[in-house]
Amino acid sequence: MSPFLFDSGIYPHIEVSGALARASDPHRSLGIHQREDVPKLKVSSKSCFGIRQTQPIHKGALYSVQTTYNGTEYSEEGRFIPQGMNGTSVENFSCVIYNISFMNCTWNVGRNAPEDTQYFLYLLYSKEEDELQCSRYINDALGRHIACSFQDVKIVKELVYFRVNGSSNKSEIQFHDEYIRLYKIEKLTPPLNITVNCSEDPSECTATWESPKISHLEGNTDRCLKYQINIQNKETNASPKESSDGLHEVKERYFKIQNVNVKKTHTLQIRASGDHCLVSYNWGEWSAPIEFGTPSNAVLIIGIVLLLIALGTLLVALVIFFLCKRYCLKALFSPVPQPKNKFNEFLQQSDKYTQVHLSYVNLLIVRLYHRQDSLTEQVQVCISVHNH
């Protein structure tokens, strides 16, 4: 019978039983190690203690315990064999931290896992803290968890324990565990505030930038990082050799691009990785492309734009001028109303009355004339009668 009882909880525990426990001196310590590549661990309890190994145990583990009592050495070995059917634990487990504090973990369903298998991810910073269980899962077509995301992840220097448990109504599911240093799985954000300034004499450009933000490092991080610079020529008719200026690696936060044709448009991207310190050696995210240089037809385009702006300005000025001429000048120089001339009105009325009187006089003259003619005719008639 094995002298060890293993607890399959989130954090491994071992209980020592049998003669080894009875032989242990309460004033001495037990020594325990997992295989030969793990340092000896001394514990104060003689019957039950937790182990903080750096190797996962989901594939099994071999432990040995030694103690001394009354000058006699005791040693026992024990083997841990995980329960469950082989091939039911998750496969290809991996995690990545991005945007400083977000973490995604993905895995594949075990090749022998039943269709009703469900997986649950836990992580533990230390045995003094509570384990964190994932609350944001991504499911496959059968509703099984195949990925998980965490927010507000803190990157610490110590190893963090990850464990994926499984459950099924058809079979016992093996667990999967790993110890991970979080800074090693971080994907650094792009460098900040990238600028490129060019000159024609000499023909060169200088790119400058700021370091990406690293949450678990304080102070100046220049010595901890290196940068990769990608420069591309945007000329569509350029040959493959001319269309790419290649990759460059630097330690500084600036880079001089020499012998560059500033009359052509280029793009520049930068990414960072760790060179020293507790920073991931994997390359981070590329920055957005930054264009620099002036293409050969840019002068013509700029001239056309300026000409259109000038014509537009002139057209607006002419429209404003004609509107002002039509409305503003009319309002400014409108005729001033003259005061009424009473004397002229009196003369106009006198003329009117004079014309009426003259018309009346003429009428009387005409009547008198006709009356005279009538009398003359009558006299002539009378004379003629008398003569006869």
CATH topology of domain 4-80: Immunoglobulin-like (2.60.40)
Phi, psi of 282 (to 5 degrees): -80, 145
What is the reported pLDDT for 192?
Answer: 95
Backbone angles phi, psi at 27, to 5 degrees: -95, 0
Instruction: Flag the least confident range among 45-54, 219-228, 362-371.
Output: 45-54
pLDDT in tens, 192-207: 999 999 887 778 889 9
91-185 and 192-296 share one fold:
yes
Q: Would you say residue 243 has pLDDT above 60?
A: no
The pLDDT assigned to 385 comes to 46
- In whole angstroms, give the CA distance from residue 170 to residue 150: 30
Residue 287 in this model has a pLDDT that exceeds 50: yes
User: What does the pLDDT read at residue 332?
Assistant: 58
Instruction: Give the least confident one: 15-19, 26-30, 300-304, 322-326.
Output: 26-30
Confidence of residue 241 (pLDDT cuts 50, 70, 90): very low
Distance CA 53, CA 33 (A): 8
Question: Cα-atom radius of gyration of the chain, to the nearest Å?
Answer: 53
Averaged over 287-300, what is the pLDDT? Answer: 74
Domain boundaries, the chain: 4-80, 91-185, 192-296, 299-332
56-78 average pLDDT score: 78
| Class in CATH terms, 91-185 | mainly beta
pTM: 0.64
Q: Decide if pLDDT at 112 tops 90.
A: yes
Residue 28: per-residue pLDDT: 42
Q: How many CA atoms lie within 13 A of 24 on its CB side?
A: 24
Confidence band for 318, pLDDT divided at 50, 70 and 90: confident
How is domain 192-296 classified at the architecture level of CATH? Sandwich (2.60)
pLDDT at 188: 95
